[in-house]
C-alpha cells in the first residue's frame, strides 16, 4: 500500500501508491464518452423523478377531492400522503430538487402535527400539490431562491391558518 | 481511452435509497467493476471487512454510528483491512466547522449534495490520481490535512471550462423558471386569504 515511510519517532509519514496503477495507468482520466453517458443516465433518473411527482400529485388531488366528498374515515389516505410525500422528499433531495423536497417535508410535518386524521385540511394538501406541480412543470432544480422561500412561507401560513 | 475502472471496487453508504441508486447509476455508467451499496454504517463496515474496497463514499449522517464514526472504524479498527482507503464524505450542509471535524477524523475528500455525475466523477478522479500522504501521530491517523497547491500550473483547463459553461447555462434556465414560479406563490397566497 505504501511506497515509502518516514518515521521520526513523533510522527510517521506514509506515502501511498496512486490507485491509477489499478485502473490502467496515470493521467488517463475518466473516459469522456462514459462520463457523458453518466450525465445522460442522471438526467434520465431526474426525468423519472419528475414523472413520479406529476403522477403522485395527480393521484393525491383525486384522492383529496374524494376524501372531501366522503368526509369519513380517512386514516389510510393520510398514511398514503405521508408515505408518498416522504418518498418524494428523499427523491427530490437525491435528484437535486431541494425546493420540491422542502414542499414535501412541509406537508409531512403538517400531517405529523394532526391529532386525528379527520383534522386534515384538504386545502393544505391541494396547496402543496399545486406548489409541487409548479416546481415540476418549471423543473426548478434548486431552492428557488427568494421565490422558493416565499412559496414555503405561503404554505406555512396556510398551515397556521388551518390550525387556528 | 480512459481508466479501466472495471478493476475498481467502490462502497457507497447512504440512508437515502434514491441517492444510492443515483450513485450506482453514475459509477456503473463509467464502468466501475463493483459498486456495493449500503443504507447502514454497521452493515457497510461488515462489507468493507469482508470484501475490501478501493474507494468509499459515505453520507455524513449514516446510522447508527454517524459518518464520522464510520470513518473512525475504517481508519482505526483492528478489523479494517485497509485503513488508508480514500473516503469521500457527502453532505447537504457542509460548513467550515463540519469540514474541519471530518478532516480531523480522516476524511479524504468532500462532496456536496445534491451532486451531479460530474462532481462525483471529479472526486473519484481526485482520489485515483492524487493519493494523500498519510500521517500517524499520537492523536491523529489519516490523510495529511495540509493541501499542496500548484500555482504554476499551465495545462489546459478543458474540464473546468466545460463545467463552467454548463453552470452558466443552468443559471440562465433557473432565472427563467423562477419567474414562472412566482405566479404560483401569488395563487397560494390567495388561497391562504380565503
Distances in Å between the Cα of B179 and the Cα atoms of A103, B44, B55, B97 are 18, 44, 42, 35
Shortest distance between the Cα of A81 and any Cα of chain B, in A, equals 19
Shortest distance between the Cα of B97 and any Cα of chain A, in A, equals 23
What would the pLDDT profile of B6-48 be if each residue is shown by its tens digit? Answer: 999 999 999 999 999 999 999 999 999 999 999 999 999 999 9
B40 touches chain A (CB under 8 A): no
- Residue B16 C-alpha from the chain's centroid: 14
8 Å CB contact of B135 and A127? no
Q: What is the largest CA-CA distance in chain B?
A: 66
| Maximum mean pLDDT: which of A7-16, A41-50, B19-28, B111-120 | B19-28
pLDDT, averaged across chain B:
86
Share of chain B above pLDDT 70, in %: 79
ipTM for this model: 0.82
Q: Look up cell 453532505; give the residue.
A: B91
Nearest CA in chain A to B137: A11
- Does residue A44 sit in helix, strand or coil? helix
A-chain CB neighbours of B118 within 8 Å are: 35, 39
Determine the number of helices (DSSP H) and then strands (DSSP E) in chain B.
6, 7
Exposed (0-12), middle (13-18) or buried (19+): which is B2, by Cβ within 10 Å?
middle
Determine the number of helices (DSSP H) and then strands (DSSP E) in chain A.
5, 2
Average pLDDT over residues B143-151: 72
User: Radius of gyration (Cα) for chain B, nearest Å?
Assistant: 20
- pLDDT class of B191 with cuts at 50, 70, 90: low
Per-residue cell: B51: 470484501
Residue B100 makes CB contacts below 8 A (sequence gap 6+) with: none
Listed residue (B9, B81, B191) closest to A121, CA to CA? B191
Listed residue (A30, A42, A39) closest to B166, CA to CA? A39
8 Å CB contact of B134 and A14? yes
Average pLDDT over residues A56-71: 78
- Does residue A12 sit in helix, strand or coil? strand
Alpha-carbon gap, residue A152 to A155, rounded angstroms: 5
Contact A59, B51 (CB under 8 A): no
Average pLDDT over residues A131-144: 86
For residues B106 and B131, the model is more confident at: B106
Contact B88, B123 (CB under 8 A): yes
pLDDT, averaged across chain A:
86
B-chain CB neighbours of A151 within 8 Å are: 181, 184-185, 188
8 Å CB contact of A135 and B181? yes
Judged by CB atoms within 8 Å, which residues 59-98 of B form the interface with A?
82, 84, 86, 92
Torsion of CA B181, B186, B189, B190, to 10 degrees: -140
pTM: 0.81
Alpha-carbon gap, residue B19 to A16, rounded angstroms: 30
Amino acid at each position: 500500500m505504501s511506497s515509502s515511510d518516514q518515521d521520526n519517532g513523533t510522527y510517521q509519514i506514509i506515502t501511498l501508491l496512486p490507485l491509477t496503477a489499478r485502473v490502467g495507468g496515470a493521467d488517463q482520466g475518466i473516459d469522456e464518452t462514459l462520463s457523458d453517458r453518466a450525465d445522460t443516465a442522471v438526467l434520465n433518473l431526474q426525468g423519472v423523478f419528475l414523472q413520479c411527482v406529476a403522477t403522485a400529485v395527480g393521484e393525491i388531488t383525486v384522492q383529496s377531492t374524494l376524501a372531501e366528498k366522503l368526509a369519513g374515515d380517512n386514516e389510510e389516505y393520510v398514511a398514503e400522503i405521508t408515505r408518498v410525500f416522504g418518498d418524494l422528499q428523499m427523491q427530490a433531495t437525491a435528484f437535486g430538487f431541494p425546493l420540491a423536497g422542502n414542499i414535501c417535508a412541509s406537508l409531512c410535518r403538517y400531517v405529523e402535527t394532526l391529532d386525528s386524521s379527520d383534522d386534515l385540511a384538504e386545502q393544505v394538501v391541494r396547496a402543496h400539490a399545486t406548489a409541487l406541480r409548479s416546481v415540476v412543470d418549471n423543473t426548478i432544480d434548486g431552492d428557488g431562491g427568494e421565490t422558493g422561500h416565499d412559496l414555503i412561507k405561503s404554505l406555512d401560513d396556510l398551515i397556521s391558518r388551518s390550525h387556528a | 481511452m480512459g481508466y479501466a475502472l472495471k478493476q475498481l471496487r467502490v462502497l457507497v453508504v447512504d440512508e437515502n435509497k434514491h441517492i444510492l441508486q443515483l450513485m450506482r447509476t453514475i459509477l456503473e455508467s463509467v464502468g466501475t467493476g463493483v459498486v456495493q451499496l449500503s443504507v447502514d454504517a454497521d452493515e457497510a463496515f461488515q462489507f468493507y471487512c469482508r470484501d475490501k474496497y478501493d474507494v468509499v463514499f459515505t453520507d455524513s449522517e449514516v446510522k447508527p454510528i454517524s459518518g464520522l464514526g464510520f470513518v473512525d472504524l475504517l481508519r482505526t479498527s483492528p478489523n479494517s483491512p485497509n485503513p488508508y482507503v480514500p473516503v469521500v464524505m457527502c453532505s447537504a450542509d457542509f460548513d467550515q466547522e463540519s469540514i474541519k471535524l471530518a478532516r480531523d477524523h480522516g476524511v479524504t475528500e468532500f462532496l456536496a449534495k445534491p451532486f451531479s455525475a460530474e462532481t462525483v466523477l471529479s472526486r473519484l478522479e481526485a482520489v485515483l490520481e492524487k493519493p494523500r500522504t498519510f500521517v500517524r501521530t499520537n492523536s491523529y491517523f489519516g490523510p495529511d490535512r495540509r493541501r499542496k497547491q500548484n500555482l504554476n500550473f499551465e495545462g489546459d483547463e478543458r474540464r473546468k471550462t466545460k463545467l463552467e459553461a454548463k453552470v452558466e447555462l443552468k443559471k440562465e434556465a433557473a432565472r427563467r423558471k423562477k419567474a414562472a414560479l412566482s405566479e404560483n406563490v401569488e395563487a397560494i397566497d390567495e388561497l391562504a386569504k380565503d
